[in-house]
Protein backbone atom coordinates (compact mmCIF):
# COMPACT_ATOMS: atom_id res chain seq x y z
CA UNK A 1 0.00 0.00 0.00
CA UNK A 2 1.53 3.37 -0.99
CA UNK A 3 2.31 5.92 1.66
CA UNK A 4 -0.49 8.37 2.37
CA UNK A 5 2.15 11.08 2.86
CA UNK A 6 5.38 11.16 0.86
CA UNK A 7 8.61 12.50 2.32
CA UNK A 8 11.99 13.39 0.90
CA UNK A 9 14.71 15.88 1.78
CA UNK A 10 16.54 18.18 -0.63
CA UNK A 11 19.33 20.36 0.79
CA UNK A 12 17.84 20.57 4.32
CA UNK A 13 14.35 21.19 2.90
CA UNK A 14 11.65 18.60 3.55
CA UNK A 15 9.22 17.90 0.70
CA UNK A 16 6.02 16.56 2.25
CA UNK A 17 3.23 15.46 -0.08
CA UNK A 18 -0.37 14.46 0.66
CA UNK A 19 -0.79 11.27 -1.35
CA UNK A 20 -4.44 10.28 -1.75
CA UNK A 21 -4.98 11.76 -5.22
CA UNK A 22 -7.89 9.42 -6.01
CA UNK A 23 -9.68 10.84 -2.93
CA UNK A 24 -8.70 14.47 -3.70
CA UNK A 25 -6.25 14.12 -0.80
CA UNK A 26 -9.10 13.88 1.70
CA UNK A 27 -7.75 13.71 5.24
CA UNK A 28 -8.39 10.72 7.49
CA UNK A 29 -6.80 9.52 10.72
CA UNK A 30 -4.30 7.28 8.94
CA UNK A 31 -3.02 10.19 6.86
CA UNK A 32 -2.74 12.37 9.97
CA UNK A 33 -0.70 9.73 11.78
CA UNK A 34 1.74 9.51 8.85
CA UNK A 35 1.97 13.32 8.66
CA UNK A 36 2.58 13.54 12.42
CA UNK A 37 5.35 10.95 12.27
CA UNK A 38 7.03 12.69 9.33
CA UNK A 39 6.94 16.08 11.06
CA UNK A 40 8.54 14.54 14.15
CA UNK A 41 11.19 12.83 12.03
CA UNK A 42 11.99 16.05 10.17
CA UNK A 43 12.21 18.17 13.32
CA UNK A 44 15.93 17.71 13.96
CA UNK A 45 17.14 17.36 10.37
CA UNK A 46 15.60 20.09 8.16
CA UNK A 47 15.61 23.90 8.17
CA UNK A 48 12.39 24.42 6.18
CA UNK A 49 9.64 22.38 4.56
CA UNK A 50 7.31 22.45 1.58
CA UNK A 51 3.86 20.91 1.97
CA UNK A 52 1.94 20.05 -1.21
CA UNK A 53 -0.69 17.71 -2.60
CA UNK A 54 -0.18 15.02 -5.24
CA UNK A 55 -2.69 14.92 -8.09
CA UNK A 56 -5.18 17.60 -9.08
CA UNK A 57 -5.90 19.09 -5.64
CA UNK A 58 -4.17 20.17 -2.47
CA UNK A 59 -6.89 18.70 -0.25
CA UNK A 60 -10.67 18.46 -0.30
CA UNK A 61 -10.68 18.26 3.51
CA UNK A 62 -12.08 15.70 5.90
CA UNK A 63 -12.79 12.26 4.48
CA UNK A 64 -16.59 12.49 4.75
CA UNK A 65 -17.13 8.84 3.85
CA UNK A 66 -15.15 7.74 6.90
CA UNK A 67 -16.95 10.31 9.07
CA UNK A 68 -20.33 9.02 7.89
CA UNK A 69 -19.37 5.48 8.96
CA UNK A 70 -18.52 6.71 12.45
CA UNK A 71 -21.82 8.58 12.73
CA UNK A 72 -24.00 5.55 11.95
CA UNK A 73 -25.55 3.62 14.90
CA UNK A 74 -23.08 0.82 14.17
CA UNK A 75 -20.12 3.19 14.24
CA UNK A 76 -17.64 2.54 17.03
CA UNK A 77 -17.28 5.58 19.28
CA UNK A 78 -14.10 5.78 21.40
CA UNK A 79 -14.59 4.64 25.00
CA UNK A 80 -12.74 7.71 26.29
CA UNK A 81 -11.99 11.11 24.87
CA UNK A 82 -8.42 11.55 23.71
CA UNK A 83 -6.29 14.02 25.70
CA UNK A 84 -5.61 15.94 22.47
CA UNK A 85 -7.48 15.87 19.19
CA UNK A 86 -5.35 14.18 16.50
CA UNK A 87 -6.03 17.01 14.03
CA UNK A 88 -5.09 19.68 16.57
CA UNK A 89 -1.91 18.00 17.78
CA UNK A 90 -0.70 17.21 14.25
CA UNK A 91 -1.41 20.68 12.86
CA UNK A 92 0.29 22.24 15.90
CA UNK A 93 3.46 20.32 14.98
CA UNK A 94 3.27 22.08 11.63
CA UNK A 95 2.41 25.55 12.92
CA UNK A 96 4.65 25.60 15.98
CA UNK A 97 7.41 23.20 15.18
CA UNK A 98 11.06 24.17 14.84
CA UNK A 99 11.12 24.81 11.08
CA UNK A 100 8.98 27.06 8.86
CA UNK A 101 6.60 25.50 6.33
CA UNK A 102 5.67 26.82 2.89
CA UNK A 103 2.44 25.38 1.48
CA UNK A 104 1.98 24.91 -2.29
CA UNK A 105 -1.74 25.03 -3.13
CA UNK A 106 -3.63 24.02 -6.23
CA UNK A 107 -7.17 22.89 -7.02
CA UNK A 108 -9.44 22.24 -4.06
CA UNK A 109 -8.22 23.70 -0.76
CA UNK A 110 -11.37 23.35 1.26
CA UNK A 111 -12.62 22.33 4.70
CA UNK A 112 -9.91 20.49 6.60
CA UNK A 113 -7.55 21.09 3.69
CA UNK A 114 -7.86 24.83 4.23
CA UNK A 115 -7.36 24.33 7.97
CA UNK A 116 -4.17 22.39 7.20
CA UNK A 117 -2.95 25.11 4.85
CA UNK A 118 -3.73 27.71 7.53
CA UNK A 119 -1.22 25.98 9.82
CA UNK A 120 1.61 26.69 7.35
CA UNK A 121 3.57 29.93 7.57
CA UNK A 122 3.57 30.94 3.91
CA UNK A 123 1.05 29.85 1.27
CA UNK A 124 1.54 29.89 -2.50
CA UNK A 125 -1.60 29.36 -4.59
CA UNK A 126 -1.85 28.53 -8.27
CA UNK A 127 -4.37 30.56 -10.27
CA UNK A 128 -6.84 27.66 -10.32
CA UNK A 129 -6.86 27.20 -6.55
CA UNK A 130 -10.20 27.62 -4.79
CA UNK A 131 -10.91 27.95 -1.08
CA UNK A 132 -14.03 26.91 0.83
CA UNK A 133 -15.42 25.96 4.23
CA UNK A 134 -18.46 23.82 3.37
CA UNK A 135 -19.02 22.45 6.88
CA UNK A 136 -22.21 24.47 7.33
CA UNK A 137 -23.78 22.71 4.35
CA UNK A 138 -22.62 19.29 5.60
CA UNK A 139 -24.16 19.56 9.06
CA UNK A 140 -20.78 19.61 10.80
CA UNK A 141 -18.31 22.17 12.18
CA UNK A 142 -14.64 22.89 11.59
CA UNK A 143 -12.38 20.62 13.63
CA UNK A 144 -8.81 21.20 12.46
CA UNK A 145 -8.09 24.43 14.27
CA UNK A 146 -9.92 26.63 11.78
CA UNK A 147 -11.74 28.52 14.53
CA UNK A 148 -8.34 29.72 15.69
CA UNK A 149 -5.99 29.81 12.70
CA UNK A 150 -8.22 30.39 9.68
CA UNK A 151 -10.40 32.89 11.53
CA UNK A 152 -7.32 34.88 12.56
CA UNK A 153 -6.21 35.03 8.94
CA UNK A 154 -9.49 36.09 7.32
CA UNK A 155 -11.51 37.43 10.28
CA UNK A 156 -14.92 36.42 11.58
CA UNK A 157 -17.08 38.17 8.91
CA UNK A 158 -15.44 36.35 5.98
CA UNK A 159 -15.28 33.00 7.79
CA UNK A 160 -18.94 33.24 8.82
CA UNK A 161 -19.88 34.05 5.23
CA UNK A 162 -17.94 31.06 3.87
CA UNK A 163 -19.37 28.67 6.45
CA UNK A 164 -22.96 29.90 6.42
CA UNK A 165 -23.38 30.32 2.67
CA UNK A 166 -20.83 27.94 1.22
CA UNK A 167 -19.07 30.80 -0.54
CA UNK A 168 -16.04 29.75 -2.58
CA UNK A 169 -13.06 32.08 -3.00
CA UNK A 170 -10.80 31.96 -6.03
CA UNK A 171 -7.03 32.32 -5.76
CA UNK A 172 -6.96 36.11 -6.03
CA UNK A 173 -9.80 36.53 -3.53
CA UNK A 174 -7.91 34.20 -1.20
CA UNK A 175 -4.77 36.29 -1.58
CA UNK A 176 -6.69 39.47 -0.78
CA UNK A 177 -7.87 38.07 2.55
CA UNK A 178 -4.57 36.41 3.48
CA UNK A 179 -5.20 32.77 2.60
CA UNK A 180 -2.28 33.01 0.16
CA UNK A 181 0.63 35.41 0.11
CA UNK A 182 1.53 34.56 -3.50
CA UNK A 183 -0.53 33.65 -6.58
CA UNK A 184 1.36 32.00 -9.44
CA UNK A 185 0.44 30.47 -12.83
CA UNK A 186 -0.92 26.94 -13.07
CA UNK A 187 1.69 24.30 -12.34
CA UNK A 188 4.12 26.72 -10.66
CA UNK A 189 3.16 26.58 -6.97
CA UNK A 190 5.58 23.82 -5.99
CA UNK A 191 8.46 25.50 -7.80
CA UNK A 192 7.73 28.83 -6.09
CA UNK A 193 7.32 27.16 -2.69
CA UNK A 194 10.73 25.50 -3.07
CA UNK A 195 12.27 28.86 -4.00
CA UNK A 196 10.86 30.46 -0.85
CA UNK A 197 11.88 27.50 1.31
CA UNK A 198 15.47 27.82 0.09
CA UNK A 199 15.52 31.48 1.15
CA UNK A 200 14.03 30.59 4.55
CA UNK A 201 16.47 27.72 5.09
CA UNK A 202 19.31 30.23 4.65
CA UNK A 203 18.23 32.14 7.77
CA UNK A 204 19.61 31.54 11.26
CA UNK A 205 17.44 28.70 12.67
CA UNK A 206 16.93 30.51 15.99
CA UNK A 207 15.50 33.51 14.16
CA UNK A 208 13.16 31.29 12.15
CA UNK A 209 11.99 29.69 15.38
CA UNK A 210 11.22 33.09 16.91
CA UNK A 211 9.26 34.14 13.83
CA UNK A 212 7.17 30.96 13.79
CA UNK A 213 6.74 30.45 17.54
CA UNK A 214 7.12 33.76 19.37
CA UNK A 215 5.50 36.12 16.87
CA UNK A 216 2.11 34.34 16.71
CA UNK A 217 1.92 33.99 20.49
CA UNK A 218 2.31 37.74 20.93
CA UNK A 219 -1.16 38.03 19.35
CA UNK A 220 -2.55 36.43 22.51
CA UNK A 221 -0.88 38.90 24.87
CA UNK A 222 -1.68 42.37 26.13
CA UNK A 223 0.30 45.34 24.82
CA UNK A 224 2.67 45.38 27.82
CA UNK A 225 3.11 41.62 27.90
CA UNK A 226 3.77 41.56 24.16
CA UNK A 227 6.54 44.12 24.50
CA UNK A 228 7.99 42.17 27.42
CA UNK A 229 7.96 38.96 25.35
CA UNK A 230 9.75 40.83 22.57
CA UNK A 231 12.35 42.11 25.05
CA UNK A 232 12.97 38.62 26.44
CA UNK A 233 13.62 37.22 22.97
CA UNK A 234 15.87 40.06 21.84
CA UNK A 235 17.86 39.48 25.04
CA UNK A 236 18.46 35.79 24.37
CA UNK A 237 22.00 34.56 23.78
CA UNK A 238 22.66 34.65 20.05
CA UNK A 239 24.32 31.77 18.21
CA UNK A 240 27.78 32.51 16.73
CA UNK A 241 26.22 32.47 13.26
CA UNK A 242 24.21 35.60 14.09
CA UNK A 243 27.34 37.60 14.98
CA UNK A 244 29.13 36.38 11.87
CA UNK A 245 26.23 37.52 9.69
CA UNK A 246 26.16 40.95 11.30
CA UNK A 247 29.92 41.34 10.68
CA UNK A 248 29.46 40.26 7.05
CA UNK A 249 26.80 42.94 6.61
CA UNK A 250 28.81 45.69 8.33
CA UNK A 251 31.93 44.81 6.36
CA UNK A 252 29.95 44.61 3.10
CA UNK A 253 30.53 40.89 2.54
CA UNK A 254 26.86 39.90 2.85
CA UNK A 255 25.03 38.90 -0.35
CA UNK A 256 22.21 41.10 -1.57
CA UNK A 257 18.81 40.26 -0.11
CA UNK A 258 16.57 38.02 -2.20
CA UNK A 259 13.37 39.70 -3.31
CA UNK A 260 10.62 37.13 -3.98
CA UNK A 261 7.95 38.39 -6.39
How far is Cα of residue 194 from the mean position of the Cα atoms in its chain? 14
Dist CA 144 CA 241 (whole Å): 37
Upper half-sphere CA count for residue 198 (Cβ side, 13 Å): 12
Task: Judge whether 135 counts as a catalytic residue.
Answer: yes
Q: Are 68 and 88 in contact (CB under 8 A)?
A: no
User: Active site residue: 34, 115, 126, 195, which one?
Assistant: 115
**β-bridge partners, 123:** 103
Dist CA 5 CA 18 (whole Å): 5
H/E segment holding residue 225: helix 223-234
Task: Judge whether 115 counts as a catalytic residue.
Answer: yes
User: Active site residue: 34, 126, 135, 195, which one?
Assistant: 135
Handedness of CA 184, 9, 179, 86 (dihedral sign): positive
Q: Are strands 169-170 and 48-53 parallel, antiparallel or unpaired?
A: unpaired
Which positions are catalytic? 115, 135
Amino acid sequence: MPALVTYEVEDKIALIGLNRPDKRNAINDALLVELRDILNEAADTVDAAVLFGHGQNFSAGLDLAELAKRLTPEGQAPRKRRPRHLWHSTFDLLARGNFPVVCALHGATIGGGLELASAAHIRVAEEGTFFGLPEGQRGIFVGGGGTVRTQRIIGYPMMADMMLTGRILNAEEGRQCGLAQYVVPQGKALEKAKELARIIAGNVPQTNWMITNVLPRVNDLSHEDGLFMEYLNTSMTRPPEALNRLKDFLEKRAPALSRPK
